[in-house]
Amino acid sequence: MRTPELYRRIGYDVEVEAEALECLARLDHGGCFRALVRLAEGLDLSAADAPEGTVAHLLLDVLQRVNRRLPRRPSERDACEEPARPDP
């Protein structure tokens, strides 16, 4: 997989991101947490040289993917889904 230039400049490690998601898939929440901490600690925001908010959006994207993969009880799943919109 080719790493985008911005990721290289800020030290974003796609392999650590993949490790976090793999841990989550194995229900290893502690391992997922540790990988996400390593991912965040490895960032060099002073090197970003990117439009304001780009790094924040990148991290938000990762956290949204983690959130979608968290196992939920059936009652919690329903609460997380958007309500169906009635037909006009």
**Average pLDDT, stretch 15-27?**
90
Residue 77 lies in a domain: no
Q: Is the pTM of this model over 0.75?
A: no
36-87 pLDDT per residue, tens = 999 988 888 776 566 667 777 888 888 888 887 776 666 655 555 555 555 5
Please report whether residue 75 resides in a domain: no
Number of domains making up the chain: 1
Q: Which domain holds residue 37?
A: 5-69
Check the CA dihedral 15-16-21-26 and report its sign. Answer: positive
Q: Tokens 């391992």 identify what position?
A: 31
In a domain, 87, yes or no: no
